[in-house]
Amino acid sequence: MIESQLRTSGVNDSWVLDRMAAVPREDFVPEAARAGAYVDRTVPLGDGAFLAPPLAQGLILTHARPAAADRALIVGPATGYLAALLAPLVGDLEQATPDSVLSGNVEGTFDLVIVDGALEQVPAALAATLSPDGRLVTGVIRNGVTRLELGRRSGDGVSLIAVTEAQLPRLAAFDAPPSWTF
């Protein structure tokens, strides 16, 4: 995984590679999926949960630039893997499902919010979890293409900038409402 997927794709920060080498992915998938835990594809875990590919999670960590003083939030289908990678790198870590974010059941604000998946829009409830100087790392689906994007809080919303394409599964709870366009 490290030599054939991460390094060859530009994920070379030693602290990212060290974390990914230290946390066995097979511990976070069902027994039947263990043989595929390291493939560069999304691993379905059942009940709408998934384990994103190693490259996607390596890119997330690289661009998140976690710091020991960060209060961090991971939003997604709580597989535990990304939390295990991130926990030693931040001061405080919480996890939340998309539904708990949308219903306002996340207390306080965070310096770093990572969405472990892809969304079509950043809803106000997700933006509200960011501290005034907080940063967001998320997959964003635009015109059918998923990109890893970085964001900063801007008023009541979030300003995003695309970094690279990434294979992150869609989180349906964050879909944009249907609309009609030409």
Token pair belonging to 29: 């998938």
Task: Report the CATH number that the domain containing residue 56 is assigned in CATH.
Answer: 3.40.50.150
- Residue 181 in domain: no
Question: Can you give the pLDDT of all 182 residues of the chain as single tens digits?
Answer: 988 889 889 898 999 999 999 999 999 998 888 988 898 888 988 887 889 999 999 999 999 999 999 999 999 986 789 999 999 999 999 999 999 999 999 999 999 999 999 999 999 999 999 999 999 999 999 999 999 999 999 888 899 999 999 999 999 999 988 877 66
What is the model's pLDDT at position 48?
A: 77
**pLDDT score recorded for residue 99:** 95
Residue 34 counted as domain residue: yes
CB-CB contact of 74 with 114 (8 Å): yes
Domain contains 80: yes
Range of the domain at 126: 2-171
Nearest C-alpha neighbor of 9 from the set 58, 51, 42: 58
Is 179 a domain residue?
no
Give the residue carrying structure tokens 């900063």: 152
At residue 40, the pLDDT reads 87
Q: Is residue 90 part of a domain?
A: yes
What's the confidence (pLDDT) of residue 164? 96
- The answer to whether residue 176 sits within a structural domain is no
Q: How far apart (Å, rounded) are the C-alpha atoms in residues 158 and 150?
A: 9
Number of domains in the chain: 1
Residue 8, domain member (yes or no): yes
The pLDDT of residue 132 is: 94
Domain annotation covers residue 47: yes
- What's the pTM? 0.93
- The pLDDT, as a whole number, for residue 47 is 81
Tokens of 38: 């390291």
Closest CA to 28 of 108, 67, 82, 90: 82
- Give CA–CA dist 16/9, Å, rounded: 13
pLDDT for position 79: 74
State the pLDDT at residue 49: 84
